[in-house]
């Protein structure tokens, strides 16, 4: 028997999260896409850890990246300089370059430090691909691990993935009816 929370998560996470990331990438907004991907990792890590609060966010993020992302990620460095650097100060402290290109040669540079460069490269297209794989793997784990399913359900019931925006015209009509 399928868990309704897992079914919703499987459907709604891509529908609500991936579309925003893809919109940033379409507009060549690599920083925005990377920030959104890091926020998505935060969300996935809370579902995988049974902790809906922001407490222990660093440990959750690092554990999730360690388990669900390729081994060439240094989870602690990625958290510190990419996730926190961009989310909190819009700056990766001269540790990483952002290369927003969908070309295969550019994607191959993801998390490498090319000869003559002093920083590693983050390619949001590669990062996005890894996020999708992590989500898929988490769903598979949820479907096969009863303890993880319980952990996930306890968090998802408190913080479900849901649509966060409404079309401006629709909202204005609703507010007008309420005389706000």
In SS3 terms, 96-124 reads as: EEECCCCCHHHHCCECCCCCCCCCEEECH
Q: For position 133, what pLDDT does the model report?
A: 98
Q: Which two tokens stand for residue 127?
A: 């990062």
Cα separation, 169 vs 148, whole angstroms: 41
Q: For position 97, what pLDDT does the model report?
A: 95
Q: What is the DSSP letter of 178?
A: T
Q: For position 176, what pLDDT does the model report?
A: 79
pLDDT in tens, the chain (180 residues): 478 999 999 999 999 999 999 999 999 999 999 999 999 999 999 999 866 565 688 999 999 999 999 999 999 999 999 999 999 999 999 999 999 999 999 999 999 999 999 999 999 999 999 999 999 999 999 999 999 999 899 899 888 887 777 677 776 777 778 775
Q: For position 42, what pLDDT does the model report?
A: 95
Q: For position 175, what pLDDT does the model report?
A: 77
């Amino acid at each position: 028997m399928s868990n309704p929370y897992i079914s919703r998560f499987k459907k709604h996470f891509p529908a609500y999260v991936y579309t925003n990331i893809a919109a940033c990438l379409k507009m060549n907004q690599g920083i925005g896409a990377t920030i959104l991907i890091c926020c998505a990792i935060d969300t996935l890590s809370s579902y995988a850890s049974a902790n809906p609060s922001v407490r222990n966010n660093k440990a959750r993020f690092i554990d999730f990246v360690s388990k669900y992302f390729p081994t060439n990620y240094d989870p602690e460095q990625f958290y510190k300089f990419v996730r926190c650097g961009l989310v909190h100060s819009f700056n990766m402290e001269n540790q990483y370059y952002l290369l927003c290109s969908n070309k295969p040669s550019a994607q191959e540079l993801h998390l490498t430090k090319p000869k003559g460069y002093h920083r590693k490269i983050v390619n949001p297209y590669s990062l996005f691909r890894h996020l999708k794989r992590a989500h898929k793997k988490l769903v598979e784990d949820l479907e096969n691990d009863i303890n993880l399913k319980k952990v996930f359900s306890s968090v998802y019931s408190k913080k479900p993935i849901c649509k966060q925006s409404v079309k401006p015209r629709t909202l204005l009509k609703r507010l007008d009816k309420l005389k706000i």
